C-alpha cells in the first residue's frame, strides 16, 4: 500500500475480499489511508483479493459503509 500512497491519492477506495465465494466470506472497505488500520482491527483469513480504485465504489455495500462513516463523524 505504501507505493500507492506515495505516488497516488490516499482517498482512493480499497476493498479486501477474503473467501469471496464461500458462505463465511468477508469484505473490508476503506481507502488507501485507512485500510491497514481497518485490517489490523478486523483481521481476515488469507488468501485475499485486494481491489484498488473507483471500481470499489460500484458496490452497494461501499455506499452503505460511506453513509455509516459519515454519520459517525457528525
CA 61 vs CA 2, 3, 9, 30: distances in Å:
25, 26, 22, 11
Contacts of 53 (CB under 8 A, 6+ apart): 12, 13
pLDDT value, residue 3: 62
State yes or no: pLDDT of 24 exceeds 70. Answer: yes
Domains of the chain: 2-73 (3.30.950.10)
pLDDT value, residue 41: 92
Average pLDDT over residues 18-32: 88
State yes or no: pLDDT of 44 exceeds 80. Answer: yes
Amino acid at each position: 500500500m505504501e507505493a500507492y500512497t506515495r505516488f497516488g491519492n490516499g482517498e482512493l477506495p480499497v476493498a479486501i475480499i477474503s473467501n469471496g465465494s464461500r458462505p463465511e466470506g468477508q469484505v473490508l472497505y476503506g481507502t488507501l489511508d485507512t485500510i491497514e488500520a481497518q485490517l489490523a482491527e478486523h483481521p481476515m483469513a488469507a488468501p485475499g483479493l485486494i481491489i484498488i480504485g473507483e471500481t470499489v465504489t460500484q458496490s452497494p455495500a461501499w455506499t452503505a459503509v460511506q453513509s455509516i462513516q459519515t454519520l459517525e463523524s457528525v
